[in-house]
């Protein structure tokens, strides 16, 4: 790729961000609640269960629902999986001795992880776990990167004023009048977003109980948000690695051998070592979740602090691309190390036996 093409791409990205920033600067919505997500309840979707009474219950009293799915995490995860399947198909369809750009790019990444797994597990075992480590890295990396693409339908939506007591929506003319009053108020007083003006000023002056809602034109599950912001996703990946590690350990050492290893150096250490193995799942999952969620929260806070005057492109690049790539690499390398702890020595044993 020539230097002029790279400069052109960077300029195009900058222009797109500035256009979106100009639109978002007119945004008068309240700041979103951190951690607020929309969920599908499979019992409600497929079995027709009536769960409407949950809406009137205090949040701490709502029972745990095992069959609930985070809409965004579920949909975006499958979008990424399908993209990876399509990419793998395109690369493997026409393999050539002299690779093209796409094949060369794929080969560079695969070779890098092939060398890492071979250096850690040895030649005999590396190919068994290469696909797992490589897939973990690519999936998590794309999951972390996808959040840097701005979701334009977060900005373009329909503003509605609702009377909480009656549940009725105000008509267009009444809505416009309230908008004019809000603009006049902001010219003379401290600036407030429209939703805050309605709840804190207009309702008190006129003894009303109005609230402002924003109805998106497209479904909420089409939001381009990192699946790794959801602890369920990272915990699921951590549990998958834990199960594979334990399966590999049992395959090599048998169940008795695993307990013997966990009993080292003394039998009294068995409970602590078991807790340590379980603790790896928690640390493995929470490290990824915390870094990605923390970056997303920082971006939200900074965007509202600067009133969305511009999008902090550098921070998007840092948290989305740099930190996202590093965390994907750390997660996959830790998975490799956990496996190596239990199956290390096969290569050396095989070499000694052969000699």
Query: How does pLDDT run across 282-311, given as a tens digit for each residue?
Result: 999 999 999 888 887 777 777 666 654 455
**CA 332 – CA 325 distance, rounded (Å):** 11
**CA 336 – CA 241 distance, rounded (Å):** 9
The rounded mean pLDDT for the chain is 80
DSSP classification of residue 165:
T
- Nearest 5°: the CA angle 261, 262, 267 is 100
Its pTM stands at 0.75
Query: Around Cβ 94, how many Cβ atoms within 10 Å?
Result: 10
**CA 138 – CA 116 distance, rounded (Å):** 15
Q: At how many degrees (to 10) do helices 323-343 and 270-305 cross?
A: 170
Closest CA to 209 of 157, 158, 170: 170
**CA 101 – CA 105 distance, rounded (Å):** 6
DSSP classification of residue 132:
H
Contact 186, 200 (CB under 8 A): no
Region of residue 32 (phi > 0: left; psi between -120 and 50: alpha; otherwise: beta): beta
**CA 29 – CA 335 distance, rounded (Å):** 42
Token representation of residue 181: 């009053």
Closest CA to 161 of 217, 192, 218, 199: 199
Query: How does pLDDT run across 131-190, given as a tens digit for each residue?
Result: 999 999 999 999 998 877 765 555 556 788 888 887 788 888 888 898 888 888 888 776
Counting every residue, how long is the chain?
355
pLDDT at 350: 45
Across residues 234-262, what is the average pLDDT? 90
Across residues 330-343, what is the average pLDDT? 92
Summarize the chain as % helix, strand, coil (round to 5): 70, 5, 20
Across residues 46-56, what is the average pLDDT? 72
pLDDT at residue 353 tops 50: no
Confidence of residue 29 (pLDDT cuts 50, 70, 90): low
**CA 200 – CA 264 distance, rounded (Å):** 64
Which of 146-155, 199-208, 335-344 is the least confident region? 146-155
Contact 103, 95 (CB under 8 A): yes
pLDDT at 21: 56
Query: Around Cβ 147, how many Cβ atoms within 10 Å?
Result: 24
């Amino acid at each position: 790729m020539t230097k002029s093409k790279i400069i052109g791409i960077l300029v195009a990205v900058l222009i797109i961000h500035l256009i979106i920033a100009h639109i978002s600067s007119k945004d008068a919505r309240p700041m979103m609640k951190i951690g607020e997500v929309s969920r599908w309840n499979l019992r409600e979707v497929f079995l027709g269960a009536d769960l409407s009474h949950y809406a009137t219950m205090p949040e701490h009293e709502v029972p745990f629902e095992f069959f609930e799915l985070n809409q965004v995490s579920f949909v975006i995860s499958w979008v990424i999986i399908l993209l990876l399947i399509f990419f793998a198909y395109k690369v493997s369809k026409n393999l050539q001795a002299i690779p093209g750009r796409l094949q060369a790019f794929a080969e560079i990444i695969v070779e890098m992880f092939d060398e890492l797994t071979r250096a850690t597990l040895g030649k005999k075992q590396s190919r068994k776990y290469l696909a797992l480590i490589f897939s973990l890295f690519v999936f998590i990396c794309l999951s972390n990167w996808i959040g840097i693409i701005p979701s334009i339908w977060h900005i373009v939506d329909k503003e509605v004023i609702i009377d909480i007591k009656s549940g009725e929506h105000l008509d267009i003319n009444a809505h416009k009048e309230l908008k004019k009053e809000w603009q006049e108020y902001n010219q003379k007083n401290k600036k407030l977003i429209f939703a805050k003006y309605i709840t804190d000023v207009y309702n008190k002056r006129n003894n009303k109980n109005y609230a402002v809602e924003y109805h998106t034109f497209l479904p909420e599950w089409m939001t381009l948000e990192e699946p790794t912001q959801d602890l369920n996703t990272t915990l699921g990946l951590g549990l998958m690695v834990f199960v594979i590690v334990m399966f590999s350990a049992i395959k090599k050492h048998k169940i008795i051998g695993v307990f013997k290893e966990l009993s080292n150096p003394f039998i009294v250490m068995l409970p602590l070592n078991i807790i340590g193995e379980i603790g790896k799942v928690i640390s493995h999952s929470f490290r990824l979740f915390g870094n990605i969620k923390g970056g997303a929260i920082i971006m939200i806070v900074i965007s509202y602090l600067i009133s969305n005057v511009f999008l902090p492109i550098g921070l998007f690049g840092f948290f989305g691309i740099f930190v996202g790539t590093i965390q994907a690499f750390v997660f996959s390398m830790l998975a490799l190390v956990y496996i190596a702890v239990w199956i290390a020595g096969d290569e050396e044993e095989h070499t000694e036996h052969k000699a």
